[in-house]
Amino acid sequence: MRERLQELKSEALEKIKHSSNLKELNDLRVSYLGKKGPITEVLRGMGKLSAEERPKIGALANAIRESISEVITEKRSELEKAAVQKKLEAETIDVTLPGRPVKRGSRHPLTKMIEEVEDLFIGMGYKVAEGPEVEIDYYNFEALNLPKGHPARDMQDSFYITEDLLMRTHTSPVQARTMEKHKGKGPVKIICPGKVYRRDNDDATHSHQFTQIEGLVVDENITMADLKGTLEVFAKKIFGEDREIRLRPSFFPFTEPSVEMDISCKICGGEGCRVCKQTGWIEILGAGMVHPNVLRMAGFDPEKYTGFAFGMGPERIAMLKYGIDDIRHFYTNDIRFLQQFSVQE
């Protein structure tokens, strides 16, 4: 019996030594120290022993149980430590790895263009004004010397909501609204950026919804030379000294005389292309001296005050500045197009 117990001990110690995980170790504990284990089995035969032998074998069995238990405890802590170590190694953070770049958005190129023009004019003492996109016929047309039935209304095909209400076709109604607020007293010096809507067919340079920036200056002794000088400063600052501009006589019912300003086409360098419709020039704004009727209707005395106004298309300006060949790029939000403008600001 003694030998059998010693045998069991060395067998158990050997298995414990080679156990490779906590589950295996626990199974060994249950099998050697449990009630159904081989040690208990051996002890069942104690009845056959002499009274003298019995306590000795009992004491030996207990000592063996204890030493197996101790070895299991030691092995458990060893396995636990190894498991923690393994986990730590698997989860090591390499602080020298470069970080993943964070994708940054950027302001829309059109927003940037508008802000650039705004900054330029604010620097020249202009205030920024606003007006509604849903406009009444009076401000969009009548107050601008375009009475009902005037043929020039056809120049701007309109989206009507009711007979008297429409999506504004230009930012010029803000001229009339601003002058009214000044109650006949100058100076007025504003720019007004905003969205406008027209029933135009979309193509490389036309969109049915686009933006305009209106400018208006009303004061005593304002002349065409002031308008020309202002537009020249604008063109040189935005496009650079080397770009050519030209003023062409034009017609707008709310200005007299009227002009349109063209810039030499950047895409083809003036040779003629799809964007400039083979002319080498792109029209970017309309302008002129405020018509006396417009001044009068808004409460200004045309004998005392004169003024100039202009309305430009920031999409066309951005196209010329950055060499963008289709206005629709601004509205289709293709990330590849927009990313070209995501320079760190």
Which residues of this protein are in contact with ligand FA5, per CB under 6 A? 156, 170, 172, 198, 200, 206-207, 210, 212, 214, 252, 255, 283-288, 309-313, 315-316, 327
For 119, list phi and psi in degrees, rounded to 5.
Answer: -60, -40
Work out the number of other CB atoms within 10 angstroms of the CB of residue 128: 12
Residue 163 CB, nearest approach to ligand FA5 (Å): 22
Listed in sequence order, the residues at least 6 apart from 218 whose beta carbon sits closer than 8 Å to its beta carbon are 179, 182, 186, 187, 188, 189, 290, 295, 300, 305, 306, 307
CB of 154 to ligand FA5, least distance (A): 12
As a whole number of angstroms, the distance between CA 165 and CA 167 comes to: 7
Considering beta carbons, is residue 179 or 285 the nearer one to ligand FA5?
Answer: 285
Q: How far is the CB of 123 from ligand FA5 (least distance, A)?
A: 21
| SS3 at position 192 | strand
CB of 142 to ligand FA5, least distance (A): 14
- The nearer residue to ligand FA5, 32 or 137, going by C-beta atoms, is 137
Q: How far is Cα 29 from Cα 202, in angstroms, rounded to an integer? A: 83
> Which residue, 33 or 224, is less far from ligand FA5 as judged by CB?
224
Nearer to ligand FA5, 148 or 199 (CB): 199
Minimum CB separation of residue 317 from ligand FA5 in Å reads: 8
Nearer residue to ligand FA5 within complex by CB, 5 or 192? 192
Q: Is the peptide bond before 187 cis (omega within 30 degrees of 0)?
A: yes
The 8-class DSSP code of residue 145 comes to T
Closest chain position to ligand FA5 (CB) = 313
